[in-house]
Amino acid sequence: MNYLSDPDAEVIALSPKTLLATNRFVCEVCNKGFQREQNLQLHRRGHNLPWKLKQKNPKETRRKVYLCPEPTCVHHDPSRALGDLTGIKKHYCRKHGEKKWKCDKCNKRYAVQSDWKAHSKTCGTREYRCDCGTLFSRRDSFITHRAFCDALAQESARVPPMAASIYGSGGMTLGLSGMAATQLQSAFQDHSPGNAAAAQFDHLMPSSAGSPAAFRGAPPSSSSPFYLGGGEDGQSLLHGKPAFHGLMQLPEQHQQGGNNGLLNLGFFSNATSGQDARLIFPDQFNAAGNGGRGGDGGGDVSAGGGHESAAIFSGNMMGNNQIAGGPGAGFTSLFNASSETVAPAQMSATALLQKAAQMGATTSGGGGSGGGTSSVNSLLRGLGSSGGRPAGAAGGFMAGESSSSRSNSQAAETNESQFQDMMNSLGNGGAFGGGFAGVDDSKLSTRDFLGVGGRNAAGLQLRHGGAAGIGMGSLDPAEMK
Amino acid sequence: MVLQDEGSSSSVTSSPLHNFSTMPLHHPSVAGTTTTTPPPWMARELRSDERGLCLIHLLLNCAAAASSGRLDAANATLEHIAALASPDGDAMQRVAAAFAEALARRALRAWPGLCRALLLPRSAPSPAELAAARRHFLDLCPFLRLAGAAANQSILEAMEGEKMVHVVDLGGADPTQWLELLHLLAARPEGPPHLRLTAVSEHKDVLTQTAMALAKEAERLDVPFQFNPVVAPRGLESLDLESLRVKTGEAVAVTSTLQLHSLLATSSSSDDDDGVDTNNKKKNNKDDSSSRRRRSPEDESGGSGVSPASPYCSTSSPRPSNSKGKANTNKVEAFLCGVWGLSPKVVVVTEQEATHNAAPLTDRFVEALNYYAALFDCLEVVAARGSVQRARVERWMLAEEIKNIVACDGAERRERHERLDRWAVRMEAAGFARLPLSYYALLQARRAAQGLLGCDGFKVREEKGAFFLCWQDRPIFSVSAWRGRRFD
């Protein structure tokens, strides 16, 4: 832990001379030098000299952390102080010291003798060879070299480097130029596993390798994570829907995939790395085929066919009619444009909430005196503001409720009295008649909405068991389907 | 079945919404009220917006009833909601279905025997299902992906020039975010650093899968990589910061995606407002509303195993009073102080931008209704109604959050979302200062948000260096970055 976790830690800044010094402790008899005093004391025993070993008292000793004296060094900063003396000495020596030790095999120089020793043990024993022919014994230098190597640069010009990684990993990552291909491929695997999809894909992807059409001109550099969002010109196989589409598809193929369970990472194991785009597809398709998805996968993608404005799947669909035609359900969402300015035929939930809030406000304002303190009106007023901050009256609604229902004097309008009746009924604990048992038959299927957990039973029993004598009326269980 | 009108002055006009708020909820045949009419949805098929408005009204009524313990009223209202809502319908119907289920669960708390017999807690989605739902959410809506990219960009910038980078993921980040980070680091002009990733999760197999995938990718990219899984069975509160093995002298980045709010959960009873929730609820020992503001006796902060030793954190100092009592403030502050003690170069926090932590149910309910309505709207736009992924997100992820917010209390309620301004106060108290997210990340995010799906519902708003990822101007998530402040 850093010293900050132990504020009593002593921050020590030693001078370069101290850090570099070796053998500070010298035997007076034979002038042999030692790095640690305790070693010197033990040596003195051999001369039959009086010796004394001091022990550190762990209770008194404070934890020490050390700073590097070099001002430009990262470890000069107390928050990055190093934890032990040997560490700081070696660090200083390595980074800011003179490299006096040299490996004879490979000409590498070291400032710290132990580093040199360690290296010469392994020098030449393990080698990495770059494609340009350079040999490396250390992995990290090999890696660094490859990032700059000219030979590799030529190769990567053919295929965007990350494209391979995408195919290899089934990459979900955004920054990668091959994304479009991935999504396309994954889009197809869902609904037509097997050869048909492969054929379709080829149809849409004239050349998978670095094709600007497929990748929509994405730059090969992977340093921009959001290429996919940028500069889309709407042309494309996906009809202007960005590569995003397949992302939704991609995990799905593995959702139903057997042992992969529902963890999407399973698809990584299917991927093989470093292959050309075309080679990958059969694997992916097989994987898709394995995950028996039944009607669901087909259903959801094909349903997307109807979307116009915001659909994810439509892009996949448009290019290829072989994929199941969009069912009617998809078309209703044609009108479901993201904007709330669409005609009330399909208002968004947020728009409905705002409208309800307005109505609640106007009712309470214009409908007479009583509405203002009613509980639901205050809640309604709390709706609709984008932050949804409830009106302050919410807290008082419990008290206000029954009083409001009584306090209304005028209630000339039928509306107002009806409202009060409603509040009355709520206040009375629900004089809800059994007549409501039979809800509209056409809506019966929706009664199952609680059926996810089968909690209908509980709800019904409440009425009988829990409604202590409220007079629920003749509620015939048989009516409750 | 069609109910007969009582024959009195009918207010069921062709537009029943004309006097919407006065629509009765009960049938006139009982209780002697004679001037009422059957609800419009019984009389004829509603338009979708009418139905939506009815649902809102019913939901609010139900919440009011449930909150004040009038369970039969709640039950009756739920019946009506059930008639109109549907998890397969339009956005409003779906969100209503989710909230109705949550309200039903809340009402059921009065009968713990029923809850137990129905094994209600076990009907929650399995970890694999939850992971799948989160993945679908990531795919369908760009929010969390944009947040992850902004986080990666912050990490990249903070770690410029570093050779050893240690990223601590406190949870919630999708593995693809780390894949991205690997790519970004590999593409650095100075070459990739040695990357250590310590990931915290409640489930071991998630970590294992992540490890395999990332290690493979790192191997392919030739980035020196090391993955350390840390299992925290009960979430962040059970996390021992020592187990993260942050070494002295390392450059540390910490990320947390939708995790910190669970630290606000407390077993204190001071945040439950059910006036009549009975004493047979085994966890809570509260009763009347006068105890609402009472401080919980059990306010130990000891979960995290770290003694917050920063000069900023002092758990004994008086806190600004809030309705949640000292217990949870201690827990989260202790945790944040511990994180500060790791000396991170950057801490990126992504949280839901909503206040779902108010004590009274009704406040929470209204706020949550607005928030999740926006999310359900977003899903309605980006996915088809028959979409399996969308259904999973709605049921396994969003509905679970809603259930937690509405139906749970005390230590069980972990979805205690709060807005960034409140988190900022906590972060500053723990010794952090704001680190503006990079402008480049903002541009990327905006481009991505606009480019995606061809719809302009997704927006990215920047304020004081933090991002707010919005749907139609309603902020959904906030992303902010912090640096450790020392001695100023």
* ipTM summary value: 0.74
Contact B193, B187 (CB under 8 A): no
| Cβ pair B388:A299 closer than 8 A | yes
Q: Which residue among B41, B343, B448 places its CB closest to the CB of A79? A: B343
**Are residues B342 and B447 in contact, defined by beta-carbon separation less than 8 angstroms?**
no
Using the beta-carbon criterion (under 8 Å), do B386 and A327 form an inter-chain contact? yes
Residue A88 has pLDDT above 80, yes or no: yes
pLDDT for B97:
93
pLDDT, greater one: B341 or A366: B341
Tell whether A337 lies on the interface with B, counting CB pairs under 8 A. Answer: yes
Q: What percent of chain B has pLDDT above 90?
A: 34
Q: B473 contacts in A (CB within 8 Å)?
A: 386
A38 versus A434: which is more confidently predicted?
A: A38
pLDDT at residue number A283: 40
Rg (CA), chain B: 24
> Which residues 180-209 of A have a C-beta within 8 angstroms of B?
none
| Average pLDDT score over chain A | 53
What are the pLDDT digits (tens) for A172-215?
Answer: 444 444 444 444 444 444 444 444 434 444 444 444 343 433 33
Closest by Cβ to B33, choosing from A352, A421, A430: A421
Nearest to A379 among B36, B64, B120 (CB): B64
* Residue A8 pLDDT level (bands cut at 50, 70, 90): low
Residues 242 through 301 of chain B touching chain A, CB cutoff 8 Å = 242, 246, 248-249, 251, 275
Q: Is B152 on the interface with A (CB under 8 A)?
A: yes
Size of interface A-B (CB pairs under 8 A): 529
**Closest residue of chain B to A480, computed from CA coordinates:** B79
pLDDT at residue B120, as a whole number: 67
Amino acid B351: pLDDT:
95
* Predicted pLDDT at A382: 66
* Contact present, B272 and B358 (Cβ < 8 Å): no
Beta strands in B177-281 (DSSP E): 194-201, 225-231, 251-257
> CA B263, B264, B270, B275: dihedral to nearest 10 degrees?
-100
Please tell me if residue A319 touches chain B, with a CB cutoff of 8 Å: no
Question: Which of A89, A143, A239, A352 best probes binding to B when mutated, by most B CB atoms within 10 angstroms?
Answer: A352
CB A297: neighbour CB atoms within 10 A? 23
pLDDT above 90: residue A246: no
- Mean pLDDT of all residues in B296-305: 37
CA of B195 to nearest chain A CA: how many angstroms apart?
Answer: 12
A403 touches chain B (CB under 8 A): no
Calpha distance B110→B107 (Å, rounded): 6
Sign of torsion, CA A12 A16 A17 A23? positive
Pairwise pLDDT comparison (B310 vs A254), residue with the higher score: B310
Residue A440, pLDDT > 60, answer no
Q: Kindly determine whether residue A143 and residue B192, on different chains, have CB atoms separated by under 8 Å.
A: yes
Cα B308 to Cα B338: distance, rounded to the nearest angstrom: 5
Residue A376 CB partners (closer than 8 Å, separation 6+): A360, A423, B21, B57, B60, B61, B64
Q: Do B123 and A438 touch (CB under 8 A)?
A: no
Lowest mean pLDDT among A49-53, A382-386, B197-201, B411-415: A382-386
CA distance B422 to B82: 36
User: Which of A297-301, B86-90, B101-105 comes out lowest in average pLDDT?
Assistant: A297-301
Matching residue, tokens 């481009």: B447
* Inter-chain touch A248–B486, beta carbons under 8 Å: no
pLDDT > 80? residue B38: no
User: A278 or A26, which is more confident?
Assistant: A26
Q: Average pLDDT of chain B?
A: 79
Q: Determine, for residues B49 and A327 on separate chains, whether the beta-carbon distance falls below 8 Å.
A: no
Asked if A226 has any chain B CB less than 8 Å from its own CB, the reply is yes
Backbone angles phi, psi at B346, to 5 degrees: -150, 140
Distance CA B24, CA B47 (A): 18
Report phi then psi at B484, rounded to 5: -70, 130
On whether any CB of chain A is under 8 Å from the CB of B110, the answer is: yes
Top pLDDT among A415 and B431 is at: B431
Do A118 and A140 form a contact (C-beta atoms < 8 A)? no
Task: Give the model confidence (pLDDT) of A126-150 as tens digits.
Answer: 667 777 777 776 777 777 777 666 6
Distance from CA of A216 to the nearest CA of B (A): 12
pLDDT at A94 (0 to 100): 83
Q: Which of B77, B99, B139 to mutate to test the interface with A (most CBs of A within 10 A)?
A: B139
Task: Indicate the DSSP class of residue B296.
Answer: P
Per-residue pLDDT, averaged over B229-242, amounts to 87
Query: Which residues in A lie closer than 8 A to residue B444 (C-beta atoms)?
Result: 224-226, 229-230
Per-residue pLDDT averaged across A382-387, rounded?
A: 55
Contact B101 A449 (CB under 8 A): yes
List beta partners, residue B477.
Answer: B352, B469
In this predicted structure, the answer to whether residue A125 has a pLDDT above a threshold of 50 is: yes
B472, pLDDT greater than 80: yes
Name the pLDDT band for A345 (thresholds 50, 70, 90): low
Residues 454-483 of B with CB under 8 A from A: 454-457, 472-474
CA-to-CA distance for A78 and B251, rounded, in angstroms?
Answer: 13
- A265/B contact by beta carbon, under 8 A: yes
Q: By the CB < 8 Å criterion, does A464 face chain B?
A: no
* Structure confidence at residue A437 (pLDDT): 34
